[in-house]
Amino acid sequence: MTSLKMPSVLVESPNTVYDGDFIEANYRYTSNRVTQKDGIFQVKPVEENIKIRTGRKLNKLGVMLVGWGGNNGSTLTAAIEAHKHKVTWNTKRGLKKPDWFGSLTQSSTVNIGYDSTDGSPVYVPFKDVLPTVDPEEILVDGWDISSADLNQAVRRAAVLDVNLQDKLEPFLKDFQPRPSVYKEKFIAQNQRERADNVLPGSDASMVDRLRADIREMKRRSDLVVVVWTANTESLCPVLQGVHDTADNLLRAIQEGHADISPSVLFAVAAILEKCPFINGSPQNTFVPGVTELAAREGSWIAGDDFKTGQTRMKSVLVDFLVGCGIKPVAIASYNHLGNNDGRNLHSKPQFEAKRVSKTNVIDDIVVSNSILYQPGEKVDHTVVIEYLPYLGDSKRAMDEYTSEIMMGGLNTIVLHNVCEDSLLAAPVILDLVVLVELASRIAFQTQHSSPDWLPFTSELGVLSYMFKAPVVPQGGNIVNALSKQRACIINLMRACIGLPPEHHIDLESKVHSSLFRKP
């Protein structure tokens, strides 16, 4: 553990106690239980008094990236090193310095109340609400099927300005990816030429090697988080007796069953080492055996598929339209890009996994409005991804949203988005590992629970904001609308310091001031 970090936000309340190594909050959690009878919705408000304890001592955080030498992994590592060494570089728009624009934890703010003198809203950096890890303190390591060091990987990716690449070379050239798992059955054939750094042997021996790599990182860290940021795999057939239970899965690995994907091997290795595993690609890594194993071992999993540009916008726009009472009926999403992710997705089996995660992102939003949509009704939704090598990491996304409006009318919205794909993904990876580290210091207790403090469930659904296809506990509710996902994280952090959810009612400015006590 690192040294005790003093909080930037201090709550003066009998419900919030700063006790040595912890912040402890007595929190009243409220919800509503609804029953329907004879067309009447009967609503019963319920509440639970919950104690929330947050450790103030930060973990020394180690991050191990699967696909470290890919565009996302190399860009994230370069950004951390640029911050650590205060690197600046010249561009045609002037002198630039490192930033974390696009990061929820590093570049967004949270409202904590209203100024006691003039009543104006007060915002603080997200990272200051609770003690969080400084990105410059993160240790990075990982695996890749390519032997290129991180300096070569950054130049191959061609995401960052050349001037910046040159300045980072002394800091990146000694980062060497560890050999990774390579199975041609699950990755596009066009990746074969990159695969010069692969593990030999059986599945069981590879899991043993991955676990040894993780243990080596654990000797340098208090907490190791493993992140899959490698290429999308083809969907894995979920077979009875193979993927359905934890014991069957472990047995299948020992027996070398052909339908065990590389991402499953990494997930199993991380789980057995009690390390959180994050799946940043859309393949079905979290087969039932993996989720059962995570619950049994007390390890966390989170995923699937980083939500960045086009899909994040979709989860905003569809939520906005449905919330306005407008009915989206057809969505066409077209992408073309030239990086290695696009090259891999040019293969049909890998694209199918991506198509599923990108099209399912609006399902819960549609289900939420029974006025607009009949039970089982779907939006006509298609996704196309084309590989155009010349564009490199510069992704072009074009979307057309057609909606029904009043009295048989139609409304069409067309969006065109151009961005460096990895410069959107890298901050998401950073947010995930920072929030996982924070989650490792949060525990809960109620009058109904045991005297022990209980952690989050093994599926970290609180991180849904960062994923196209969030993994939630069985029986849990999948939420894709971005505003709700962000509110979940913000309100959880507020709860940890004893503040109620942010309700945005702001009655002080909407009713007679005599109703409220003067500050």
Catalytic site residues?
305, 354, 395, 468
Both tokens of residue 22?
């912890």
Helix (H) or strand (E) holding 262: helix 262-272
Distance between CA atoms of 283 and 243, rounded to whole angstroms?
A: 14
In angstroms, what is the C-alpha Rg of the chain?
24
Q: Which residues contact 499 (CB under 8 A, 6 or more apart)?
A: 11, 112, 113
SS3 119: coil
20 DSSP β-pair partners: none
List phi, psi (to 5°) of 420. Answer: -80, 115
What is the number of helices (H) and of strands (E) in the chain?
15, 17
List phi, psi (to 5°) of 508. Answer: -55, -30
Both tokens of residue 382?
């298609």
Distance between CA atoms of 210 and 202, rounded to whole angstroms?
A: 12
- C-alpha dihedral sign at 100, 102, 103, 109: positive
- C-alpha dihedral sign at 442, 448, 452, 458: negative
Distance between CA atoms of 181 and 105, rounded to whole angstroms?
A: 32
Hey, what amino acid is at 79? Answer: A
* Residue 512 DSSP symbol: -
Instruction: Please name the residue that has the structure tokens 């912040």.
Output: 23
Instruction: Please name the residue that has the structure tokens 């990716």.
Output: 157
Checking DSSP bridges between strand 327-337 and strand 394-404, what pairing results, if any? antiparallel
Contact, 142 vs 67, CB < 8 A?
yes
Does residue 304 have a cis peptide bond before it, meaning omega lies within 30 degrees of 0?
yes
Give the burial string for 367-398 (b: 16+ CB within 10 Å, else e): eeeeebbeeeeebebebebebeeebbbbbbbb
SS3 497: coil
* Residue 514 DSSP symbol: G
CA 87 to chain centre: 27
Q: Which of these, 128, 142, 132, lies nearest to 2 by C-alpha position? A: 132
Burial class (CB in 10 A: 0-12, 13-18, 19+), 43: exposed
Both tokens of residue 186?
């699950």
